[in-house]
């Protein structure tokens, strides 16, 4: 939570005014952060969760165990979008815990990736 809060002010959300920060923990206990970054071409907007995961991958992480989604401007906690869930699945270490928190009310929700994304797709190893 502290890591996400420390970068929340860097969110770039001039269009939606909906700021989000995220922190992910990898299998080595390292924490990586990200914020949402909007673009006038809205399809090019990137969610905070993906920024945090891409930051982790940039630093050599490949297995994510926990994800925090911190909604700065919502009274309710918000889940990751479908694209973020699929990226979490790509780098999941088992069935990661996803913490969703509202910074306005401190309401929270906790779920496993498997509860939010029931049919992820990806490479299947032959065993």
Catalytic annotation, residues: 49
Cα separation, 125 vs 127, in Å, equals: 6
With a CB cutoff of 8 Å and minimum separation 6, the contacts of 13 are 19, 20, 36, 38
For residue 102, which phi and psi values (nearest 5 degrees)? Answer: -95, 125
Tokens of 52: 């945090």
């Amino acid at each position: 939570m502290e890591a996400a809060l420390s970068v929340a002010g860097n969110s770039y959300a001039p269009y939606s005014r909906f700021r989000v920060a995220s922190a992910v923990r990898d299998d080595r206990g390292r924490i990586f952060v990200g914020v949402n970054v909007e673009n006038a071409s809205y399809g090019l907007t990137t969610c905070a969760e993906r920024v945090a995961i891409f930051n982790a991958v940039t630093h050599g992480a490949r297995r994510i165990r926990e994800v925090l989604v911190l909604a700065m401007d919502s009274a309710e906690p918000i889940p990751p979008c479908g694209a973020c869930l699929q990226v979490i699945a790509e780098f999941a270490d088992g069935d990661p815990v996803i913490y969703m928190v509202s910074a306005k009310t401190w309401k929270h929700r906790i779920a496993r990736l498997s509860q939010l994304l029931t049919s992820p797709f990806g490479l299947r190893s032959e065993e």
